[in-house]
Structure 1
Amino acid sequence: MPVRTSPKLGPWKPHIDAMLRQDLDAPRKQHQTATRIWNRLIDEHGADVSYAVVRDYVRRRRPEIETEAGKRTVAAFVPQQHAPGMEAEVDFGEVWVILAGVKTKCHLFVFRLSASGKAVHRVYPTQAQEAFLEGHIAAFETISGVPALQIKYDNLTPAVVRVIHGTRDRVENDRWVLFRSHYGFDAFYCEPGIDGAHEKGGVEGEVGRFRRTWLSPVPIVDSLDQLNTMIAEWDARDDARRITGRRSSVGEDFALEQPLLQPLPAERFDPGLVLHPRVDRSALITVRQAKYSVPARLIGRQVRVSLRASEVVVFDGRAQVARHPRVVERFGESIVLDHYLEVLQHKPGALPGSTALAAARTAGTFTAAHEAFWQESRKVNGDSRGTRELIDVLLLHRGMRVADVIAAIRAALTVGAVTADVVAVEARLHASGTVLGGSSSNRHPAQHDVDDGKRIVSLTQCRLTDPAAVIAGLPADARPLPSVAAYDELLRRRIKNTPPTTTGSDVVGPLEGNTA
């Protein structure tokens, strides 16, 4: 390829080189620009050259002069070979998700083994330390081991408190040091900024590859748990891919690398950040500017909270008393109706307009069956008592399966027995496999579908509706009508066999004088 020549610039090249060499000892902010060099050529030497020609020559020649003088090193990459089971790389990347109908910015945690290229991905609502630690734990448990030598990082805030410039030393977060000690690996921190990006180029490229492959278009999910379940399946499918320049797949290389990893410790590290908020008068605690409900009996007490990436777990002593999905938005709240049931037993009128009931309806835990039972119970028992019956039914959920209680509510509504006692009996029958409605389950299995005529009849329904209409749907009652004739016969015998007694002039009959 012919080299283009610049006849007009040729005589002035030595002058330009001399100006560039003057800059070798000058402060960087006072280096001569291409514009300044062009102006000097015109003013000092009367040169007849264009600015574009001078600019292009300066752009090419300045790095060469600085390299010759030892002021600049040649930018080059040295190929690396990673020993299996020894190293990994970690990084975060941004990702957008349609979460429960809302476009939400989330954070993609990526862990990549340097040798095989096996990667583990998880999406969290934050990239705080709890998400950072949870991502590591998920990765270690997925690959069933820990890199034996080191893991490479940027200078991430969850791990590094302060960067000591000019060295590789870092002031690390105390909890991060405890985590590394628990799993037994070292951390390697890359150079700050763009200069250190090449030191963990594998995971840098993996963030973009996974985002383009699996998270485009924007995923639409109801929860991050659902998304992470999908991501785990995508990670498994990625084992079949081949990295450019390799003959074997990622899964085949990982099968050789996995036995060389360090084993997992016997105990799992708790990644949650421990906090100790106090429960306010509304049975709420405040954690990171969001509110979470706890059982009302804890009002005024201090509780222990484990703040995790995707959830908040509340403890009273060693007993777990509440578990909520983590609220990301500021001043958001997560309220559970069950935490207020004891209070509502004494204040049933507070239930209809309560925030807890609205939250339960939105979450779907207060179902159409509950609504129907409440409406029918208030019609039969009145507002206060009917609401208390509903609360007693809601309390059954603490010790029984949701499906059993819902089935029992429907059975009770079918016969019009809108009381918590009937629901409790039917729920236990449903849980034990008994046919609802009073039929026993100890019959032969083949006879379970046979209608033996046994039905529950609600006396309440008979009172409130036409008895004839209710009884019309029942089998005929062939029993004789009750009679008291036998008792009348006993009465006549008693009068006949009892002698009369007298007191003065008064005569007392046998019935009036018998007080026994």
Structure 2
Amino acid sequence: MELYLKVRLARSEGMSQRDLARHFNISRDSVRKMLAFSSPPGYRRTKEIKRPKLDGFTEIIDGWLEEDRKLPRKQRHTAKRIHERLRTEHEFTGGYTIIKDYVRQRERRTREMFVPLAHPPGHAQADFGEALVVIGGVEQKAHFFVLDLPHSDAYFVRAYPAATAEAWMDGHVHAFAFFGGVPLSVLYDNDRCLVSKIQPDGTRVRATLFSGLLSHYLFRDRYGRPGKGNDKGNVEGMVGYVRRNHMVPIPHFPDWESFNTYLEEQCRARQTDTLRGHTETIGARVQRDLAEMRPLPAAPFEACAQASGRVSSQSLVRYGTNDYSVPVAYGHQDVWVRAYVDQVVIGCRGDVIARHPRCYAREDMVFDPIHYLPLIERKINALDQAAPLAGWDLPKEFDTLRRLMEARMLKIGRREYVQVLRLLETFGMDELHAAVKQALKMGAVGFDAVKHLVLCQVEKRPPRLDLDVYPYLPRARVETTSAASYMSLMSEAAK
């Protein structure tokens, strides 16, 4: 720039271009350029770069790179691999550098451009992310639902064992309750839990459960292009933010509920932040979102998948890939199933007949031992081999009661022990356990005695055991005093 200034000043004072070139020891072409531009224009290419060794091979390279668009990103051609294939398959004699430069320039020309988007208040974006967590001492993958309000940058997150359709619906229900309103629209990707099919004209065929959610809350669903996460870039970025800030280091919680309570607290705490480029806090800006959102309906949506089934000969009902037990009295009957994120409810006609914790394993059996006790009472020889009873963690007093009953009554004692267990159909484990301990202490080893004791506990009255009614209870014989015997003793004492 200093030389530019001197040359241009000398020319303005009348020095010719020939004299300028001689005085500053530069060429006349340089003088003309300095006079034409007030500052150095830099190098300007006027002709296309000639690559004689690459001529005839660019069409081959373009074809390979176009085919790569249909393949996974990690299995696409690199410049090095293109150079190797050209040499071995097409007798290419050029170097690696011209291939690398051509591929780089081609990618730069075909790189996608984006339009800056405005986000009016009242609209949302939703997605799922994944992260490792430790729940109940077991390391596992958490699938966390994120609903983001792009206008205010407020968000809600909730974690689940799996990203099922029920988890999608449950996430919406909790997110709407968290914000206290329903967004005007929510932008999604084309997850199969939401979209069962994309028509040739681009319209989506919604999944049945998702259609029910839309009908309940009355918001508009919008979708990005398949495979284009940047169409909902705000929530994509929020998924990464949640993973980096709330799940590093790996979270340790006793159960999913406590983990989700922690996540909800973090969502509330962030609303006090003021982000770069804004003068208001997130909490202040979210008020504009809430002003545009719809009010919540009178009752929340029941976020569960519904199915029908038939009870098998082993008193099992299949949902997904897992089998859940029901009472044996409902064998071979038609039932309905409602699957929530945390439990599976099974009913017959208008009655709920079984509830189980939701199992996310595959090809597993979930038993409730109480369901099989009536059948085991009739088939008492199956007591020790019954799979539903395997691993049933009963208090140690129950094992003591069984040994005493079998020792006194043999096979009848085993059947009475099962009858004692069947009291769990009516009473709680704590009540029955207390009655069993009291029966052992009193030596009243029998079903009728245990039943009497547990009823007395429930009704809060003292127990009164009649030995004539309970023939298997231990007997105590008390002799009555004879007056004649007493008088003979007195006469002997007088002597």
Same fold (TM over 0.5): yes
Q: Secondary structure at the match of 2:294?
A: coil
Q: Where does residue 87 of structure 1 map in the other structure?
A: 123
How does 1:413-492 map onto structure 2 within 5 Å?
Answer: 413-431=440-458, 481-483=480-482
Match status 1:278 vs 2:306? no
For 2:195, the aligned partner's letter is: V
Match status 1:309 vs 2:337? no
Q: Are the counterparts in 1 of residues 125 and 234 from structure 2 also a CA contact under 8 Å? A: yes
Q: Are the counterparts in 1 of residues 380 and 414 from structure 2 also a CA contact under 8 Å? A: yes
Q: Is the alpha carbon distance of 1:300 and 1:185 closer, same or farther for their aligned partners in structure 2, counting shifts above 3 Å?
A: same
Match status 1:128 vs 2:164? yes
Match status 1:78 vs 2:106? no
Q: Where does residue 335 of structure 1 map in the other structure?
A: 367
Q: Secondary structure at the match of 1:291?
A: strand
Q: Secondary structure at the match of 2:250?
A: coil
What is the alpha-carbon distance in structure 1 between the residues aligned to residue 49 and residue 262 of structure 2? 64
Q: Are the counterparts in 1 of residues 126 and 148 from structure 2 also a CA contact under 8 Å? A: yes
Q: Secondary structure at the match of 1:303?
A: strand
Which range is displaced more, 130-139 or 295-304? 130-139
Q: Is the alpha carbon distance of 1:390 and 1:246 closer, same or farther for their aligned partners in structure 2, counting shifts above 3 Å?
A: farther
Q: How many residues align?
A: 418
Q: Is the alpha carbon distance of 1:231 and 1:483 closer, same or farther for their aligned partners in structure 2, counting shifts above 3 Å?
A: farther
Q: Is the alpha carbon distance of 1:98 and 1:355 closer, same or farther for their aligned partners in structure 2, counting shifts above 3 Å?
A: farther
Q: Are the counterparts in 2 of residues 179 and 269 from structure 1 also a CA contact under 8 Å? A: yes
Q: Are the counterparts in 1 of residues 446 and 473 from structure 2 also a CA contact under 8 Å? A: no
Q: Give the counterpart of 1:371 among 355, 377, 399.
A: 399
How does 1:188-267 map onto structure 2 within 5 Å?
Answer: 188-193=222-227, 196-220=228-252, 223-254=255-286, 257-258=289-290, 260-267=292-299
Q: Where does residue 418 of structure 2 map in the other structure?
A: 391
Q: Is the alpha carbon distance of 1:31 and 1:324 closer, same or farther for their aligned partners in structure 2, counting shifts above 3 Å?
A: closer
TM-score with structure 1 setting the length: 0.68
What is the alpha-carbon distance in structure 2 between the residues aligned to residue 311 and residue 136 of structure 1? 18
What is the alpha-carbon distance in structure 2 between the residues aligned to residue 232 and residue 265 of structure 1? 22
Q: Give the counterpart of 1:344 among 362, 376, 383.
A: 376
Shift of 1:313: 1.2
For 2:212, the aligned partner's letter is: L
How does 1:163-178 map onto structure 2 within 5 Å?
Answer: 163-164=198-199, 169-178=203-212
For 2:217, the aligned partner's letter is: Y
Deviations 1:78-131 (A, max 9, x none): 152331xx2111111123344555543342222223333333323333323222
What is the alpha-carbon distance in structure 2 between the residues aligned to residue 127 and residue 460 of structure 1? 56
Q: Is the alpha carbon distance of 1:212 and 1:4 closer, same or farther for their aligned partners in structure 2, counting shifts above 3 Å?
A: farther
What is the alpha-carbon distance in structure 1 between the residues aligned to residue 65 and residue 438 of structure 2? 88
What is the alpha-carbon distance in structure 1 between the residues aligned to residue 266 and residue 444 of structure 2? 51
What is the alpha-carbon distance in structure 1 between the residues aligned to residue 46 and residue 306 of structure 2? 73
TM-score with structure 2 setting the length: 0.70
Q: Where does residue 430 of structure 2 map in the other structure?
A: 403
For 1:352, the aligned partner's letter is: D
What is the alpha-carbon distance in structure 2 between the residues aligned to residue 119 and residue 211 of structure 1? 13
Which range is displaced more, 217-226 or 89-98? 217-226
Q: Secondary structure at the match of 2:222?
A: strand
Q: Are the counterparts in 2 of residues 336 and 359 from structure 1 also a CA contact under 8 Å? A: no
Q: Is the alpha carbon distance of 1:177 and 1:421 closer, same or farther for their aligned partners in structure 2, counting shifts above 3 Å?
A: same
Shift of 1:481: 4.5
Deviations 1:350-378 (A, max 9, x none): 222211111422xxxx3334333333333
Shift of 1:256: 5.8
Q: Where does residue 190 of structure 2 map in the other structure?
A: 155
Q: Are the counterparts in 1 of residues 275 and 282 from structure 2 also a CA contact under 8 Å? A: yes
What is the alpha-carbon distance in structure 2 between the residues aligned to residue 201 and residue 264 of structure 1? 27
